[in-house]
Amino acid sequence: MDAISSSRRWLLSVAAGAVTGPAVTDRAGSQRHPEGREWSGPWTRESRAAVVRAMPEAVAWARAARWPFGAVLVALDGGAVAAGAANSAEDGDMTAHAEMNLLREAAARGVRLRDHAVVSTAEPCPMCAGALLWAGVPAVAFGTAGARLTALGVPQIDLSFESVARRSSVGPRPAVARGVRADLTDPLYEELARLWRGAGGS
């Protein structure tokens, strides 16, 4: 009998600041994946696979939204998707980013956030980063970096998720994965940038 679940072990390793899994960790504590992804923190082979598998579902949420930002909550143990959300800021609440909506959905459903990773099509903005840190999400994975959105001309507050996380004393610092399935997420924002330019946006 497995007396301690793999997600519990994962969380204990988060708390201990340990790094597990087969990837090589450099002095800065980041792991360079052969496919160009970057992993910081105690990702395991299983939790990495879970967030990579879940990204297409986050992209589907994004594709259904006017502003193509989507996010899902995926179980670190087993990879089941527990909830999903898209940006709905066009409905009048400008704080209704995908990650904010996802946290509200998770609260409404009673999902235990500490067993889940948030998988977002784009790097969480400073507002969402703060919310994710206050919520105690142990792992955050995203596709397109905020710097890429800025380069494309998509309006952003230019402060990385990890910059916000470094200034937080709320719980253990979450594990972060950057560039997850960016082959799927970058086109969302390249299309958005084309529409934005076509509409005369700035």
Residues carrying an active site annotation: 99
Tokens 């598998």: give the residue: 53
Q: How far apart are CA 112 and CA 7, in angstroms?
A: 12
Question: Which residue from 23, 125, 131, 135 is in contact with Zn ion, where contact means CB under 5 A?
Answer: 125
Residue 48 near Zn ion by CB under 5 A:
no
Nearer to Zn ion, 54 or 122 (CB): 122
Q: Are 81 and 74 spatial neighbours (Cβ–Cβ below 8 Å)?
A: yes
73 DSSP β-pair partners: 83, 118
Question: Which residue from 37, 48, 97, 148 is in contact with Zn ion, where contact means CB under 5 A?
Answer: 97
Residue 148 near Zn ion by CB under 5 A:
no
DSSP assignment of 124-151 equals: PPHHHHHHHHHHT-SEEEEEE-HHHHHH
Q: Kindly state the tokens that stand for 134.
A: 């206050």
Nearer to Zn ion, 54 or 128 (CB): 128
Give the interface segment with Zn ion, choosing from 96-104, 108-116, 161-169, 186-194 (CB under 5 A). 96-104
DSSP 113: G
Residue 58 near Zn ion by CB under 5 A:
no
> Minimum distance between the CB of residue 99 and Zn ion, rounded to whole angstroms?
6
Q: How far apart are CA 135 and CA 170, in angstroms?
A: 9
Nearer to Zn ion, 19 or 127 (CB): 127
Residue 116 near Zn ion by CB under 5 A:
no
Question: Which residue from 128, 133, 137, 175 is in contact with Zn ion, where contact means CB under 5 A?
Answer: 128
Q: How far apart are CA 109 and CA 160, in angstroms?
A: 29
